Amino acid sequence: MNPQFISIEGLEGAGKSTQRTVLAAWVAKRFGQPMVTREPGGTVMAEQIREVLLAHHDEPVDVLTELLLMFAARRQHFSAAIRPALANGQWVVSDRFTDASYAYQGGGRGIAWEQIAELENLVLQGAKPDLTLWLDCPAEIGLARARQRGELDRIETEDIAFFERCRAAYERRRSEDPQRIIRLDATGSIESVSAALIQALEARYS
């Protein structure tokens, strides 16, 4: 089988980082150690863009600026890390990818789907994950988990309505590409979400 590119998506506190470890361990056991990465970020330069994106600023952040920075980081991440790893036969597990831009900048900020698609074509020329595991939970549940950790970044300070729009946009993405995007109920215990995730992987790759 060709090395696979798997992304994991969901709102803050959905459990992406927690489940990413389970996902990476599953891949490592069957197909060799994957490259485990995240967005925005994943390379030194893209991590610097992440810092700019998540920091609080004295000036208002224009929504298109935010989108362009997400895609600038993504281009660097894809060309310098993801594509070489796949070309080298290594699987890739990424905490977020382009679906997050549709969810947050599309659903959350209200940028037209078509504009994001244009940018996606320019930046990725059709490249996308082979499988996306969407950890779905109501915004209230995810934010309560995330907020227990303390200080909130710039995007985490948005209100519940913003995150519910992001969630609805994830559902729109799933309905447009149901073969690639698998929804997993992320409201249960960590163990029950891990079990559902492994079941989805077994169904896809066994």
DSSP states along 31-79: H-PPEEEESS-SSHHHHHHHHHHHS--SSPPPHHHHHHHHHHHHHHHII
In angstroms, what is the minimal distance from the CB of 188 to ligand T5A? 6
Nearest residue (CB) to ligand T5A, 162 versus 205: 162
Structure tokens at 197: 């995730």
Nearest residue (CB) to ligand T5A, 1 versus 191: 191
In angstroms, what is the minimal distance from the CB of 88 to ligand T5A? 24
What is the distance between the alpha carbons of residues 134 and 19, in angstroms, rounded to a whole number?
A: 11
Nearest residue (CB) to ligand T5A, 88 versus 189: 189
Nearest residue (CB) to ligand T5A, 32 versus 161: 161
In angstroms, what is the minimal distance from the CB of 173 to ligand T5A? 12
In angstroms, what is the minimal distance from the CB of 129 to ligand T5A? 12
Rounded to 5 degrees, what angle do the CA atoms 152, 39, 206 make? 120
What is the distance between the alpha carbons of residues 36 and 6, in angstroms, rounded to a whole number?
A: 10
Q: Is 104 helix (H, G, I), strand (E, B) or coil?
A: helix
In angstroms, what is the minimal distance from the CB of 151 to ligand T5A? 12
Which residues 6+ apart lie within 8 Å of 197 measured at CB? 19, 22, 23, 26, 133, 184
Which residues sit at the interface with ligand T5A, rule CB under 6 A? 10, 12-18, 38-40, 70, 95-96, 100-101, 104-105, 145-146, 155-156, 186, 189-190, 193
Nearest residue (CB) to ligand T5A, 37 versus 105: 105
DSSP states along 138-166: -HHHHHHHHHTT----TGGGS-HHHHHHH
User: Shortest CA distance to 39 belongs to which of 129, 166, 145, 157?
Assistant: 129
Nearest residue (CB) to ligand T5A, 89 versus 140: 140
In angstroms, what is the minimal distance from the CB of 96 to ligand T5A? 4
